[in-house]
Amino acid sequence: MDTMVKQSLAVSIKKLSSCVTGVKEREVWARRRAKRGTGGVKSSPPRTGQTTVTHSYQTDLEKERKLREALNAQKHAERAAMRDHFRKKYQLSKSSKDTSHLSAAQGKVALPRQLAKLIGPETPAKDDGYSLLSAFQGLNFNMGMLGGKQTKSSTPMSVNGEACKTMWSVSVSPSMFQGIQGMCVSVRPAACVRIQRGMCVCPAGTVAGLGVEGVTPARGGPAERGGGRGLRRFEEIPHTGSSGWLNLVMFWREDRFKLLHKHMERTFNTLGPIYRERLGTQSTVNILLPSDISELFRSEGLHPRRMTLQPWATHRETRQHSKGVFLKNGAEWRADRLLLNREVMMAPAVRRFLPLLDEVARDFCRQLATRVEKEGGKEERGLSLTIDPSPDLFRFALEASCHVLYGERIGLFSTSPSQESQKFIFAVERMLATTPPLLYLPPRLLWRLGAPLWTQHATAWDIIFSHAEKRIQRGVQRLRSTQAAGGGSGGTEGEFTGILGQLMDKGQLSLELIRANITELMAGGVDTTAVPLQFALYELGRNPAVQEQVRVQVKAAWARAGGDAHKALQGAPLLKGLVKETLRLYPVGITVQRYPVRDIIIQNYHIPAGTCVQACLYPLGRSRDVFQDPERFDPGRWGTQESGEGPGGGGGFRSLAFGFGARQCVGRRIAENEMQLLLMHILLSFRLSVSSSEELSTKYTLILQPETPPRITFSTL
Ligand code: HEM
């Protein structure tokens, strides 16, 4: 494409260049004068063609004038955008002059790097939400070229943070670009031509955005590693077959969905670190190296997007429920997410809910100890009991979630746990298991047809919603009665009444949105923690030396903390490593997806903005290029020595089980603390062992889980 563009522009640029500057004409006449040896004798150019040249010269002067105006408009708009940003930030009144500059630019102002830097950081904050300034993250423009200096550029961005995808499709004469090497502005139609999404033709016939002189190559990718080969087209990315429907049929026939993680690992081994895959209507680019993943996340934009779980969205739409952060996108998502972050992710919130999680973890261990005492067999050193702990772990996760979200215990550790809670756990399991096959079918059609798969899925969601609804209604009643009594969110002064109580008390989210988000947190908070806990117990059981090492640290930290759970966790970094290591080998979600807002280059392939790119966590965690001895279970590897650059580079982009950046898992802090606390109390009370040291076989049902839940022996210490 770039060659075509260059070819089609080259002739007219040359012609124009001579017309505007007159250089060629002057040279021709000088040469003729020299030939004739006329020296001081003045001669006129021949009359033939003179009128044409004059006319062309005037036309080009006119074009130059227009271009100057375009540049001035861009300059004014840039400055106006910056002033407008600071006025908004400091809540000053608007300037009509700036507003008119901005409206002349139709609100789409490409800021040069220096100005963009002034008003926003280049990379998103890694943790804990983001600030107003990050509204300008990722702005990266190519105005440095104006001075003739070639700089790296990317697809221009507008001030609203979205990629400037819609370059004006006005046909522009190349003469417009005379003298402004590399310019690519989005202020005036004349300055930039849309050829294909995210690309724009620049003056000298180069194509910014296609990477010829544009997009930043992935750090550590072949281009930078010295391959020096030309950029390759998107279509050249190795793929698993071009027919999405044929692939889908194969997947179904061979039951590959269940082993999607293994399929990914095999495909990377065969095709290399990047490949494309089409399944039904979905098409993705799959990557695994941290350096490539970092490139992807750097282009995620202000409102990062994941692949939509359409069956979930269809359930909300057909039942007329609002969507929570999991299913929302854009500014709506961001507004809800910032409010949730305050109650779920920020340090003060964690301090509030940590004791609640600790209480449930201790109860779990007490109940287990009673069971070992009653049912366990005698051993040399005490009592031991071998069980499949998964049902207890699911109950633990639900009890912990309810305690944190609603501030209420639902009594799952009692001798007769309620039928309703058991039903909830089955419903979450059903909902997760029916999601993957529905992802590749049109859910609305299935809904209309009343297909059994859809009915099972929707019914599971209905049970999840009604479970949450009951608790929300109780919360509302509690709030009303305490408000009537002149109190706060339903508790006495200083009492934490759960995240629900906090959200209601603040009153910033409507009740409908609170319902939507709390239900999502409930649905997302049970299996996601119960399943990695099974893996962690199994790995501790089959690695007794590792188990002992962690226990020694935990015991010391617990003794020092004097019963303060927060202090104990801080004093035992191996617990954190244990959770990270478990999720490295068994990531709950096997991929994290993003749609880059600008064109990027990964492994020297051009990837247009808007492509669905997945970081494949399962193959990443087991890759020899990224981790030393990847098959070794070693929580200590996340300490100082290996937390930085691994063999595959990419720094922090090796531990991504919770996703990344502003869109990372909102339940992360709950999950991490919940898992660490339970493992801490288990290690303080029991020695764990397993009868086989075989690797666990796994299956994928939207989350990665053991094919068969492992049996663990709990022995008293
Ligand atoms: C080990 C446990 C967990 C893991 C590994 C995990 C993983 C993830 C991942 C990978 C994402 C997508 C992040 C991204 O796109 O960058 C995510 C999103 C999410 N998770 Fe979790 N999660 C866990 C536990 C939880 C818990 C306990 C809750 C609820 C209390 C929860 C609620 C959510 C929600 C609501 C989102 C959507 C956030 C958004 O789009 O803004 N997760 N999780």
Tell me the per-residue pLDDT of 472-528, one tens digit each, with 9 for 90 and over.
Answer: 888 888 877 877 776 655 455 557 889 999 998 888 999 999 999 999 999 899 999
Q: What percent of the chain has pLDDT over 90?
A: 49
* 606, pLDDT greater than 90: yes
Q: Identify the CA nearest to 685 among candidates 485, 553, 551.
A: 551
pLDDT at 446 (0 to 100): 85
* 310, pLDDT greater than 80: yes
* 400, pLDDT greater than 50: yes
Instruction: Report whether residue 328 contacts ligand 1, using a CB cutoff of 6 Å.
Output: no
Instruction: Report whether residue 589 contacts ligand 1, using a CB cutoff of 6 Å.
Output: yes
Mean pLDDT, residues 423-447 taken together: 86
Question: Which CA distances in Å does 266 have to 244, 272, 625, 648, 707?
Answer: 19, 10, 15, 19, 19
* 11, pLDDT greater than 60: no
Question: Which CA distances in Å does 142 have to 6, 186, 216?
Answer: 19, 11, 12
pLDDT at 601 (0 to 100): 97
Q: Identify the CA nearest to 676 among candidates 386, 412, 400, 383.
A: 400
pLDDT at 60 (0 to 100): 74
Amino acid sitting at position 691: S
* 29, pLDDT greater than 70: no
pLDDT at 380 (0 to 100): 78
Cα gap 715→708, rounded to integer Å:
22
pLDDT at 52 (0 to 100): 54
**587 within 8 A of 617, measured Cβ to Cβ:** yes
CA of 660, closest atom in ligand 1: 16
Tell me the per-residue pLDDT of 115-150, one tens digit each, with 9 for 90 and over.
Answer: 454 444 333 333 322 222 222 222 222 222 222 333
pLDDT at 257 (0 to 100): 85
pLDDT at 142 (0 to 100): 28
Tokens of 225: 């590693």
Mean pLDDT, residues 672-696 taken together: 96
Mean pLDDT, residues 433-444 taken together: 83
pLDDT at 178 (0 to 100): 27
pLDDT at 275 (0 to 100): 98
CA of 594, closest atom in ligand 1: 15
pLDDT at 494 (0 to 100): 58
**407 within 8 A of 501, measured Cβ to Cβ:** yes
pLDDT at 170 (0 to 100): 23
Tokens of 87: 């006025």
pLDDT at 82 (0 to 100): 63
Average pLDDT of the chain to the nearest whole number: 75
Question: Which CA distances in Å does 492 have to 4, 479, 655?
Answer: 73, 11, 40
* 183, pLDDT greater than 80: no
CA of 528, closest atom in ligand 1: 2
The half-sphere exposure of 640 on its side-chain side, counting CA atoms within 13 A, is 0
pLDDT at 44 (0 to 100): 40
Cα gap 267→67, rounded to integer Å:
51
Mean pLDDT, residues 64-82 taken together: 73
Of 678 and 414, the structure prediction assigns the larger pLDDT to 678
Instruction: Report whether residue 521 contacts ligand 1, using a CB cutoff of 6 Å.
Output: yes
Q: How confident is the model at residue 93 (pLDDT cuts 50, 70, 90)?
A: low
* 30, pLDDT greater than 70: no
CA of 344, closest atom in ligand 1: 30
Q: Identify the CA nearest to 574 among candidates 616, 635, 527.
A: 635
Q: Identify the CA nearest to 188 among candidates 167, 160, 208.
A: 167
Mean pLDDT, residues 309-317 taken together: 94
Cα gap 677→680, rounded to integer Å:
5
Instruction: Report the number of secondary-structure helices (H) and strands (E) in the chain.
Output: 24, 15
Mean pLDDT, residues 77-84 taken together: 69
Q: Which of 103-112, 342-351, 394-403, 590-599 has the lowest mean pLDDT?
A: 103-112
* 676, pLDDT greater than 60: yes
Instruction: Report whether residue 356 contacts ligand 1, using a CB cutoff of 6 Å.
Output: no
Q: Identify the CA nearest to 541 among candidates 373, 710, 716.
A: 710
Ligand 1 centroid from CA 305, angstroms = 14
Q: How confident is the model at residue 88 (pLDDT cuts 50, 70, 90)?
A: low
Q: How confident is the model at residue 648 (pLDDT cuts 50, 70, 90)?
A: low
Q: How confident is the model at residue 238 (pLDDT cuts 50, 70, 90)?
A: very high
Instruction: Report whether residue 164 contacts ligand 1, using a CB cutoff of 6 Å.
Output: no
**203 within 8 A of 209, measured Cβ to Cβ:** no
Instruction: Report whether residue 526 contacts ligand 1, using a CB cutoff of 6 Å.
Output: no
* 187, pLDDT greater than 50: no
Q: How confident is the model at residue 646 (pLDDT cuts 50, 70, 90)?
A: low
Minimal-distance CA residue to ligand 1 atom 37: 326
Minimal-distance CA residue to ligand 1 atom 4: 658
Instruction: Report whether residue 550 contacts ligand 1, using a CB cutoff of 6 Å.
Output: no
pLDDT at 140 (0 to 100): 28
Minimal-distance CA residue to ligand 1 atom 42: 667
CA of 671, closest atom in ligand 1: 27
Ligand 1 centroid from CA 322, angstroms = 19
Task: Annotate 568-580 with three-state secondary structure.
Answer: HHHCCHHHHHHHH
DSSP letters for 502-569: HHHHHT-S-HHHHHHHHHHHHHHSSHHHHHHHHHHHHHHHH-HHHHHHHHHHHHHHHHHHTT-HHHHH
pLDDT at 118 (0 to 100): 46
pLDDT at 189 (0 to 100): 27
Ligand 1 centroid from CA 318, angstroms = 24
Instruction: Report whether residue 400 contacts ligand 1, using a CB cutoff of 6 Å.
Output: no
Ligand 1 centroid from CA 329, angstroms = 15
Q: How confident is the model at residue 51 (pLDDT cuts 50, 70, 90)?
A: low
User: In what order do the strands lie in the sheet containing 383-387?
Assistant: 377-378, 383-387, 712-716, 686-689
**Pocket probe mutation, ligand 1, options 336, 665, 675, 676, max atoms within 8 Å of Cβ:** 665
